[in-house]
Amino acid sequence: MLSIKVLGPGCDNCHKVEENAREAVQQLGVEATIEKVTDRSEFARYGLLYTPGLVVNEKLVSGGRIPSVAEVVGLLTKAQANS
């Protein structure tokens, strides 16, 4: 199962990243937990400088922008191959 975290204060961009992550999970048909992290001290733990951030299996894979659904599909596929 994939672990996905969306890092951000809850802004519109953060919601869009979460939507794209959910869509990517649905397209792949994989099991995943998606968690929103709004605690700024957690952002630093992952090395995130600008929100929103996307973490897959405890690794920061995107920060400061909104990855497309297709990009998230690729990131999740890669994470699955490495686990």
Residues with catalytic annotation?
11, 14
Query: What does the domain layout of the chain look like in residue ranges?
Result: 2-82
pLDDT at 8 over 80: yes
SS3 33: strand
pLDDT by residue (tens digit) across 44-65?
A: 999 999 999 999 999 999 999 9
CATH of segment(s) 2-82: 3.40.30.10
The number of C-alpha atoms within 13 Å of 10 and in the hemisphere containing its C-beta is: 2
Euclidean distance between CA atoms 67 and 52, whole angstroms: 10
pTM of the model: 0.95
pLDDT by residue (tens digit) across 14-30?
A: 999 999 999 999 999 99
What pLDDT shows up at residue 82?
87
